[in-house]
Amino acid sequence: MEFLFFALIVIIMFLLSFIHILKEYERGVIFTLGRFWRVKGPGLIIVIRGLQEMVRVDLRTVVMDVPTQDIITKDNVTTKVNAVVYFRVMDPKNAVIQVENYYDATSQLAQTSLRAILGQHDLDQILSERDKLNHEMQKTLDEQTDPWGVKVTAVEIKDVDLDETMVRAMAKQAEAERTRRAKVILAEGEEQAAKKISEAATILSKEPQAIQLRYLQTVSEITDHKSSTVLFPIPMNFVEGFQKIVQATTKDEKSK
């Protein structure tokens, strides 16, 4: 009786060893006598030991840190760059059959692609056009990992490390650029002001009444200030008229 009970337990344990439970995000790639049979899961599946073998594949998105790489940019600047890659397995069969270890293969490919792509751009582009470079690397990696059944969904450049000399040089460059822009804006303002003054002078020269009104307006503005002495400019036509009166009076006296 005890022997039968023990044998029953052994049989149950042996049968349970055939049973595997795969979670919702897992798939099992089944091989029968070394040949691919099918992809099964999720849930409860049976694998006949000795005849079949199962390889578990995780379908969740993997977040992989790309180690810091030494980059020589197109303008011969040495810098250190690291990144993060987001990918997931879309085809469990190819992820097991077409590549030995899809995680390590994707990691190595990401490192070489990071050096190759960033090495084709200037440092200014790496710092200012990250979105464009992220998309370019994502597209390149996705095309190369597609035969493995791996989908690269995103690539993000994390940090760009520069030495202190380069940081100081970039600070000086930025300061010089700000100074240049300020001078350009000031020159453009002066040019526009000169054009407006020239246009105003042309209009006033055609209308003597406008000149008189402008003169009165200027006098009004001067009197608004709290100054002890105010000098009023005398128009030239007034001086000329006064000179003519003096000359006429002098002639009359001489004739008498």
Domain ranges of the chain: 16-58, 62-162
**pLDDT one-digit tens code per residue, 15-57:** 667 788 899 999 999 999 989 999 998 999 888 888 899 999 9
Mean pLDDT (the chain) is: 81
From 54, 154, 35, 57, select the one nearest 102 (Cα to Cα): 57
Angle, helices 102-118/130-145, rounded to nearest 10 degrees: 140
Whether the per-residue pLDDT at 14 is higher than 80: the answer is no
Cis peptide, bond prior to residue 42, ω within 30 of zero: yes
Let me know how long the chain is. Answer: 256
**CATH number belonging to the domain at 62-162, selected among 3.40.50.300, 3.30.479.30, 3.40.50.180, 3.40.50.11740:** 3.30.479.30
Residue 226: strand, helix, or coil: coil
pLDDT-based confidence at residue 247 (cuts at 50, 70, 90): low
**pLDDT one-digit tens code per residue, 212-243:** 666 666 666 666 655 556 565 555 555 555 55
- List 157's β-bridge partners, or say none: 83
Whether the per-residue pLDDT at 256 is higher than 60: the answer is no
Mean pLDDT of 166-177: 64
Could you tell me the pTM of the whole model? 0.65
**pLDDT one-digit tens code per residue, 48-76:** 888 899 999 999 999 999 999 988 888 88
**pLDDT one-digit tens code per residue, 69-118:** 988 888 888 889 999 999 999 999 999 999 999 999 999 999 999 999 99
